[in-house]
Amino acid sequence: MPTLLPAATFLGMKSLAVGLLALKFCFAGHAASISDSIDTIRSVGAEGKGNAAASKAWKSLSQAEASALPQILQSMKGTSPLAANWLRASVDTIAGRSKNLPEKELLSFIADPQQDPRARRLAFELIQKFNPNRADKLIPGLINDPSVELRREAVAQVIEEGNRQKDAKQNEAAIKSYHKALNAARDINQIQTSTTALRQLNEKVDLPSHFGFLMHWNVIGPFDNTKRSGFDKFYPPEKTIDFSAVYEGKNGKVEWSEFITANEYGMVDINKAYPGPGDGLKEVTAYAYTEYKAPEAREVELRLGCKNAWKIWHNGQLVFGRDEYHRGMRIDQYQLNLKLAKGQNTLLIKLCQNEQTQPWTKEWQFQLRICDSTGTAIHAANRPTTPTTGTDNSKSTSKPTRRPRN
């Protein structure tokens, strides 16, 4: 015969069961609330679309416990910059009021190169804040990390080591450290710092090769760009590349000529190809063409710096263009995704100069390189030696004797 429990005991067990069930639903609801808030933030659109909902979701998400940080960080992958800002703000808020972090989970997150680089950097900063010694131990292993944000920490550490060695007159060790830093560096300032230090120790540095700048071109022009009409106007090089052809240009007949840049930042200065009076020609258009032999078909980034209006074609197909002038220029100003074909690839750039005559509108130039998503140079299979002398047609002219190769 079964033993009967006292009524009070039975009621107590019933209350415990109800409490545990309520707690289960509470945790489930909390998890759902976190996921829902993340989904709302991730769906925020351009020009403020969904901002009101995102703001409300951020307030809810920011109340989560520190244990939710890995989930929030994971959600940053594939988000827009605006959504990433909302998610980062929630991470900062949660971490700011937390005494402890899920360190083990954050370390695993940092170690996963498939996660978003911004989020991995943010996770590292959290470890750095709460456990500086643990963060310091991570840094040397980040020297070749695919995240440029994390790699920067390791490169800075190696540069500092080189500085200490240099101050101690340990030049051979310093040279080794600076070369290690340069080979790993993808940050422009760190590249320049390492280069300067090496050259002070009489070491040669091939910056065009390090960056992967394309140095050998053929150019043709000038064509007309009166009233900025040249950007949309069709000129013969956009249809076919024929080095023997002669076309009608803005001021007479034009034909292709070889152009080589020796600038260590790969600057192709069209003013040196077509020098004009004073600060150079105005209201003109030119084309630059090169070929690139890829060892294999692969995804790459085409990175352009330019302050003129431009268009780029790859293997005869328009990749992108921008019709604006003299709004500043920097390395990697524009980053374009591209799929290289195995073997020969062609690149054509259209470069337009406008009518402005202010001193800061003189430049008619561009720099172009091919690299992977980290900024690591991808060289052509037949890349020539970096040139030491460039074209300057204010002194001489030459016609192409071969197709350019980079």
| Residues across the chain | 406
Q: What is the mean pLDDT of residues 243-272?
A: 96
Q: State residue 398's pLDDT score.
A: 52
Residue 51 confidence (pLDDT): 78
pLDDT at 28 over 70: no
Mean pLDDT throughout 38-43?
Answer: 89
Domain with CATH 2.60.120.260 in the chain: 211-371
Report pLDDT for 393: 77
CATH number of 211-371: 2.60.120.260
User: Average pLDDT of the chain?
Assistant: 89
Helix (H, G, I), strand (E, B) or coil at 16: helix
| pLDDT recorded at residue 2 | 45
Per-range mean pLDDT, top range of 43-57, 90-104, 307-321: 307-321
Percent of the chain with pLDDT over 90: 75
Residue type present at position 111: A
Is the model's pLDDT at 381 over the cut of 70?
yes
Task: Read off the pTM.
Answer: 0.81
Instruction: Please give the average per-residue pLDDT across 303-310, as a whole number.
Output: 97
**For residue range 203-255, what is the model confidence (pLDDT) as tens digits?**
999 999 999 999 999 999 999 999 999 999 999 999 999 999 999 999 999 99
41-64 mean pLDDT? 84
Output the CA torsion sign for 367, 371, 377, 381: negative
Question: What pLDDT does 278 receive?
Answer: 79
22 versus 403: which is more confidently predicted? 403
With a cut of 60, say whether residue 7 has pLDDT above it.
Answer: no
Lowest mean pLDDT among 4-18, 215-229, 346-360: 4-18
Q: Rounded to a whole number, what is the distance in angstroms from the first to the last CA of the chain?
A: 93
pLDDT at residue 31 is higher than 50:
no
User: b/e per residue, 240-265, with b = 16+ CB within 10 A?
Assistant: ebebeeeeebbeeebebbbbbbebbe
Q: Which two tokens stand for residue 91?
A: 């991470």
Task: Tell me what pLDDT residue 403 has.
Answer: 62
CA distance 96 to 294: 49
Q: Is the pLDDT of residue 401 over 90?
A: no
